[in-house]
């Protein structure tokens, strides 16, 4: 994966495969179990996930793409540049129920739509 470059230039960082599974429990809890009932696993989930995070970034990879694939949840993909208007459009068009938003994206969405309907 590549680091975000917050404190310097982005760098490639090796992450062992065994570390990937360790991120699932915290992520799933943060997403309210993806709509699954932890006490009744037979109940299906209709969760649809979206994140503007780049999948090559550690947050996009470990907190968005891999967990949704692991749990068999659909993930909405968008290749364009982030905009709050496009984010709301995608979420409405695809019935997004769960999202992973980095702070700058969330701030832009809150500024564009201070009182969202959903």
Question: Contact 83/65 with Cβ under 8 angstroms?
Answer: no
How would you label 3-25 residue by residue, b for 16+ Cβ within 10 Å and e otherwise? eeeeeeeeeeeeeeeeeeeebee
Domains, in order of start, for the chain: 17-112 (3.40.50.980)
CA separation for the pair 16, 19 (Å, rounded): 6
pLDDT at 82: 92
Using only C-alpha atoms, the chain has a radius of gyration, in whole angstroms, of 15
Per-residue model confidence as pLDDT tens for the chain (118 residues): 777 666 778 788 787 777 766 666 666 666 666 666 666 667 767 888 899 988 877 777 777 888 788 777 889 998 889 999 999 999 999 999 888 888 899 999 999 988 877 6
Model-level pTM?
0.69
Contacts 24+ apart (CB under 8 A), 32-35: 32/98, 34/68, 34/71, 34/73, 34/98, 35/97, 35/98
pLDDT at 46: 82
């Amino acid at each position: 994966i590549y680091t975000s470059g917050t404190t310097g230039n982005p760098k490639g960082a090796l992450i062992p495969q065994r570390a990937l599974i360790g991120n699932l429990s915290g992520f799933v809890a943060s997403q309210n179990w993806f709509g699954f009932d932890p006490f009744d696993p037979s109940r299906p989930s209709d969760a649809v996930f979206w994140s503007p995070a780049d999948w090559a970034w550690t947050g996009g990879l470990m907190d968005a793409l891999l967990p949704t694939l692991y749990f068999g949840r659909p993930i909405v993909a968008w290749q364009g540049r982030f905009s709050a208007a496009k984010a709301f459009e995608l979420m409405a068009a695809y019935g997004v129920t769960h999202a992973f938003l980095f702070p700058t994206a969330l701030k832009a969405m809150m500024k564009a739509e201070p009182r969202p309907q959903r």
